[in-house]
Amino acid sequence: MSAVRWDLFCRVIDNLGDAGVCWRLAADLAARGEAVRLVIDDPSPLAHIAPDGAAGVEVLRWRDDVALPAEVDVVVEAFACDPPPRYVAQMAGCTRPPCWLNLEYLGTEARALRSHGLPSPQLEGPGRGLTKWWFQPGFGAGSGGLLREPGLLAARAAFERDAWLQSMGWPRAPGEQVAVLFSYAHPGIAQWLVALASRPTLLLVPQGPAQPLVRAALGPQLRQGALRALQLPWLTQSQFDRALWSADSSVVRGEDSLLRALWCGSPFVWQLYPQRDGAHQRKLQAFLEHWAAEAPLPRAASEWFVWWNTEAAGPPPRRPDAGAWRAAVLAWRDRLAQQADLTTQLIGFALAKR
């Protein structure tokens, strides 16, 4: 059976978010034998997160005159980015058009999940006569699932933290815990660092908005009390995953990093992109409700999620019991791992509509 051919369109808004999700999907599809063309308006983030590319993935810079190859079976637009009108018109002109999907942002609220699998007939414009299908990633039954490549959890289980940290030049001292901070700006970071400095801690800070905030709070030596921080260079996605695997706890931002922290199985906090209308607060609340419905989540852990997503935050709440927090993460991770992953569901959905 010949490979199914996919065109995946991506516009970069948050360069490590949109590009990161699309690259993981493209690479996962290709690893399963599919042929993928990633059409992206700004491929520069890929030089950091995937400098070696992936077999079976062709990267093409987005242009308005990009053409529809005759052999394409599935067209995915990530996050309602709308392929170029000329390309859509070519789809409409096909005797047997490719399956056209809109891959949405990760959904936590019920209203978002209700859109999964729904058709959107195109009644006007260059795609008139076509049907675009909504594909909604999510945590519960009835959603499109979550990105999780085959073998991920086995690789996590076999991971040797100290050997990897040593190989990267970031060895931890005896007795040090490891934390990862990959966040947006937050007014309470300095206070959070003070709390973290109460016990020996190696803090890994990947590239992003947190780096200058940590430098300002800790000074040029990047030390305070029992805390020492390392400001990391750009990491590939594989390296970022392993940094999370090395951590006893982590703070992550965005949807791709959320899922990687969840599959890691260690205590974590998710900081959502703040929105003026408070939509991020509603999304966070729905996320915590999903979690609580599947596995007990310590109240103190919920308070950390709320604190990291409150702009006018006061002092950090008391730190949750690490064992209970880890158990809650593992319980939900193991429940979610029983569901079909997003790529498996996406392939099945597209072929059924094709």
Distance CA 38, CA 314 (A): 43
Q: Is the pLDDT of residue 123 over 80?
A: yes
8 A C-beta contact, residue 196 and residue 10? no
Distance CA 249, CA 179 (A): 5
Note the residue count of the chain.
Answer: 354
Going by C-alpha positions, the residue among 99, 163, 89, 104 that lies closest to residue 132 is 99
List active site positions.
18, 255
Residue 1 has a pLDDT of 56
Least confident of 1-10, 116-125, 167-176: 1-10
pLDDT tens-digit series, residues 212-234: 999 999 999 999 999 999 999 99
Distance CA 275, CA 262 (A): 23
8 A C-beta contact, residue 21 and residue 147? yes
Distance CA 313, CA 157 (A): 36
Q: Is the pLDDT of residue 183 over 80?
A: yes
Residue 303 has a pLDDT of 94
8 A C-beta contact, residue 109 and residue 305? no
8 A C-beta contact, residue 135 and residue 117? yes
107: DSSP letter: B
97: DSSP letter: P
With a CB cutoff of 8 Å and minimum separation 6, the contacts of 77 are 9, 83, 100, 101, 102, 103
8 A C-beta contact, residue 26 and residue 36? yes
254 C-beta neighbours (distance < 10 Å), count = 23
With a CB cutoff of 8 Å and minimum separation 6, the contacts of 181 are 189, 203, 204, 205, 210, 214, 250, 251
CATH number corresponding to 152-336: 3.40.50
Distance CA 67, CA 47 (A): 25
Going by C-alpha positions, the residue among 315, 302, 305 that lies closest to residue 187 is 315
pLDDT tens-digit series, residues 286-335: 999 989 988 889 999 999 999 999 986 688 998 899 999 999 999 999 99
pLDDT greater at residue 132 or residue 112: 132
Beta bridge partner(s), residue 54: none
pLDDT tens-digit series, residues 52-79: 999 999 999 999 999 999 899 999 999 9
What does residue 161 show for φ and ψ, rounded to 5 degrees?
-60, -55
Owner of token pair 């392993």: 242
pLDDT tens-digit series, residues 11-56: 998 757 899 999 999 999 999 999 999 999 999 999 999 999 999 9
8 A C-beta contact, residue 54 and residue 26? yes
CATH number corresponding to 5-148+339-353: 3.40.50
Q: Do domains 5-148+339-353 and 152-336 have the same CATH topology?
A: yes
Residue 190 has a pLDDT of 95
Strand order in the sheet with 131-135: 57-61, 35-40, 5-10, 74-78, 99-103, 131-135, 119-121
User: Can you give the residue ranges of every domain in the chain?
Assistant: 5-148+339-353, 152-336
8 A C-beta contact, residue 326 and residue 303? no
pLDDT tens-digit series, residues 240-285: 999 999 999 999 998 999 999 999 999 999 999 888 788 889 999 9
Structure tokens at 186: 């937050």
pLDDT tens-digit series, residues 1-14: 578 999 999 999 87
